[in-house]
Structure formats: structure tokens, C-alpha cells
Amino acid sequence: MQRLLTTAWCVALGIALMVGSPLTLQGSGVRSPLTPSLSPLPKGGEGAGSGIGSFLTPSGSGIGSLLTPSLSPLPKGGEGAGSGGIQTSAQRALIAILQSGEGSLYDQAVQGFKTEMARRGYREGNTVEYLVLTLKATGKEEPVESLLKRSPKVVVAVGTDAARTLKERYARLPPERQPPVVFLMVIDPVAEGLIESVERSGTRFVGVGLTIRPHRQFRSLLDIAPNVRQLGTLYNPNDATSRRLIEQAREDAQQMGLELIAVELPAPAELPRALATLEKQIDAFWLIPDPLCVAAFEQIMSLCLRKKCPLLAFAQTYVQRGAPVGVGVDFADQGATAAELVEQLLQGADPATMPMLTPRRLRTYYNLATARAVGLEIPDTLLSLADKVFQQ
């Protein structure tokens, strides 16, 4: 019997050397070190507690199944964890990350993504490998071409420009050369043509939305300025994203007892007229992520200080520059949410059938110096819950 088992083990080892699959000698508790399992140990049922990974083992054969799921995370502890679970570069799943540019916001999103992937069992250098490229970086080869040559399992597009560039390149590629793309930090993926609808992608792209429903921002404004009734804003009527946001804002404002006064700003030259129109009617201003609106921040800030009315912003940088309050997305959380989608794709999900996810965690900021300048006193309870409070 011992000779028979030895012969069976040698035969199985020879097969493993040819196909690169893991082996488990039933009852021995030994796994071949040639190709460690990438699947977590089962918590219960068949194989649980036996020290054997989640492979099918034909009863009585003494030879482990040669079926190996290659993209599942490693177990966090126990058999297969540690140095014995490290994969070669050929076995690790390659994830390409294409950033629109460089800066702290991109860094926060990418780090949040990697951290969440590791938490889910996909460790860099172990079960996954990352290729990080910047769209506008100078180099011998165009970044999109560089990543496509590496044939990644999934591409993560960080920023609108990165996602748009991939979409344009995919239009010239056959389907089999289009790895699925998970986007984040994209303001309006539907308007960009990345996905067909929020409910169902319908394309090779799926991702995390950047914009939030206006009522979540309006609530924070009313918490510190409950007497606000006329809320003004500027937007470019030629920008589809801005038009969609204004439509949502009108609905939300009406439900909250606010009147939204939205003045069109089709060109920078129209700014003096637009601000003069608003100055006569509003008691608060809402800054939206419209390029023309953002470019006029200094003039808008001056109007609000002159009228002593609060300015509601959408990101930390504008609160730091003077807006009394700002509510925006958490960019690290954007990356973490994107990791959920990447895991589904690595496990075989079809991006065309997946919905877009929405921001889950918001960050709130206050500027106390400007708040005092416009006559606002922010309660200590709100300050204690804020993500960042600027004193000047």
C-alpha cells in the first residue's frame, strides 16, 4: 500500500509540473509548494478543519483535483498564508491604474483602493500586481499603449481624462483586447458615454460616481444657516453635467423649502452680469463643480463677503480658500468602493450588467474665520463631527 501511494504521488507530481496546478494528498495535510492556492479556506462543510484548501478531492484517489481558481484572494492566515503563498509575476493578476494627473486627490484615491484590495485578501506582490501610469506623464511610450501591451485583468481609470482616453482607444480595439475598466473621480459617466445608465453599464466600463445629490449639501448649509431661503448658483448651460445637476438641485431645493436661483454663465465674459443678477436676490451661494463657476471663485467669494451670506462649496480646497462650509466626497472612499467592483470583475462578473456605485462617505469642512465674517456661529457639535476645521 505504501508503494502504491508513493507511485500515485509521483505520477501526480509529474502532472503538476506540466500544468502548474496545486496538489493535495488526501489525509496528508500537505500541499505542493509549486502553486499555492489562491482561494480562502472554507469556513465549514466539506474540507473545513482538515487543513486542506478549497479544492475538489476525489474520494479515495489520494490525488488532489487539478482545478485551480486563479484570481481568488489568499487566506489571511493559516495554510497558504505567509511566504509560502507568494505567487510569481506570471501568476499574479495584473491591475493597471491610469491616472488623469498627479496630486494629493489622486494619491488618496489610489491608496484607498490598494488598502481595500489588501483588506479583501488581494495583496500587492502576492496575489495582485499593480501597474500605475499617469496620463500626462512624459515618456517614450504613450501610457495607454503601455498598459494594453501588458494585458491587465482590469484597468482602474482615476479621473475623467483617463476614462475618456481609454474609451476613445477602445473604440479602435476588438472586444477581446478590451480589459474591463473601473472608473472613479468622474463627474458624469453617462454624459461622457462611459456607461449607458446608472442602473446598468451596458459597456466595458463600470465605476463609482463622483457627484452627490444636492440635498446632502443643502442639509449641511441649513444646519449652520437655518434662515436661508434663496440659494443662488451659476452654471454653464452648454455643459450637460451642470444641466443635470441643476435639475436635481431644483427638485431637492423645493422639497427642503429653498428657492434655487440658477443663473446661466455660458462664457467668462458674462460673469459681471450674472453676479449682478444674483446679488439682488440671494441670501446664500452654492458653488458647483462647473469649470466656469469654479474659475470665478474669487469674485463669488467677494460677493458673499460683501453681502454677508454663506458660500456652500463642494471640496476642501474651496473651504480652505474661504468658503464657510463645504461638503464633498471622500476620495479615499472612492478608491475603496472601486475595489469592490474590481473584485467582482476578477471573479468573472460582466461589467455590462453591473450598476454604477454612488459615493458612500462624505466629508464636511468649515472655515471659522469666514463664518464669523458673514455672521455665522457654527455649533461645537458640528465642529466636532467635521473632517477638517480651518481657523483662517
Residue ending a domain, choose from 32, 67, 86: 86
Residue ending a domain, choose from 28, 57, 86: 86
Question: What is the sign of the dihedral through the CA atoms of 221, 382, 391 and 335?
Answer: negative
Which region among 46-60, 63-77, 174-188, 317-331 has the lowest average model confidence (pLDDT)?
Answer: 46-60
CB 190 within 8 A of CB 209: no
CB 327 within 8 A of CB 362: yes
As a whole number, mean pLDDT of residues 32-61 equals 36
Domain co-membership, 268 together with 371 = yes
Domain co-membership, 367 together with 222 = yes
Domain co-membership, 148 together with 99 = yes
Does the structure show a pLDDT above 50 at 282? yes
As a whole number, mean pLDDT of residues 229-245 equals 93
Give the closest residue to 233 by CA, choosing from 250, 216, 219, 211. Answer: 250
218 or 5: which leads in pLDDT:
218
As a whole number, mean pLDDT of residues 64-80 equals 43
21 or 317: which leads in pLDDT:
317
Which region among 1-5, 328-332, 357-361 has the lowest average model confidence (pLDDT)?
Answer: 1-5
As a whole number, mean pLDDT of residues 374-385 equals 96
Residue ending a domain, choose from 86, 110, 138: 86
Give the closest residue to 186 by CA, choosing from 294, 264, 289, 102. Answer: 289
Q: CATH no. for residue 147?
A: 3.40.50.2300
Domain co-membership, 60 together with 48 = yes
Domain co-membership, 44 together with 71 = yes
Q: pTM above the 0.85 mark? A: no
8: pLDDT confidence band, cut at 50, 70 and 90?
very low
Chain centroid offset of residue 222 CA: 29
Q: How far apart are the C-alpha atoms of 391 and 58, rounded to whole Å? A: 68
51 or 352: which leads in pLDDT:
352
As a whole number, mean pLDDT of residues 56-74 equals 40
Mean pLDDT of all residues in the chain?
Answer: 82
**Cα–Cα distances in angstroms (integers) from residue 93 to residues 58, 83, 113, in the given order:** 29, 18, 15
Domain co-membership, 276 together with 375 = yes
Domain co-membership, 147 together with 185 = yes
Number of domains the chain is built from: 3
Neighbouring-strand partners of residue 325: 312, 366
Contacts of 215 (CB under 8 A, 6+ apart): 252, 255, 256
Domain co-membership, 221 together with 370 = yes
**In 3-state terms, what secondary structure has residue 43?**
coil
Does the structure show a pLDDT above 60 at 26? no
Q: How confident is the model at residue 350, as a pLDDT?
A: 97
CB 161 within 8 A of CB 187: no
As a whole number, mean pLDDT of residues 108-126 equals 96
> Which of 55-69, 127-141, 308-322 has the highest mean predicted lDDT (pLDDT)?
308-322
As a whole number, mean pLDDT of residues 293-304 equals 96
Q: Which residue has the cell 483535483?
A: 65
Start-end of H helices in 120-209? 143-149, 160-170
Domain co-membership, 164 together with 246 = no
Domain co-membership, 134 together with 191 = yes
Does the structure show a pLDDT above 60 at 56? no
**Cα–Cα distances in angstroms (integers) from residue 97 to residues 63, 108, 300, 338, in the given order:** 40, 13, 36, 12
- Segment holding 106, helix H or strand E: helix 104-119
Domain co-membership, 153 together with 80 = no
Q: Which residue has the cell 473545513?
A: 48
Domain co-membership, 376 together with 254 = yes
As a whole number, mean pLDDT of residues 307-320 equals 95
65: pLDDT confidence band, cut at 50, 70 and 90?
very low
Does the structure show a pLDDT above 60 at 105? yes
- Segment holding 110, helix H or strand E: helix 104-119
**Cα–Cα distances in angstroms (integers) from residue 229 to residues 256, 260, 282, 305, 377, in the given order:** 9, 9, 8, 18, 18
DSSP state of 308: T
User: Which residue range is the domain that position 155 belongs to?
Assistant: 93-211+332-353
Q: How confident is the model at residue 137, as a pLDDT?
A: 61
pLDDT digits 0-9 by tens, 182-198: 999 998 899 899 999 99
141: pLDDT confidence band, cut at 50, 70 and 90?
confident
Does the structure show a pLDDT above 70 at 241? yes
Q: For a pLDDT cut of 90, what percent of the chain falls above it?
A: 66
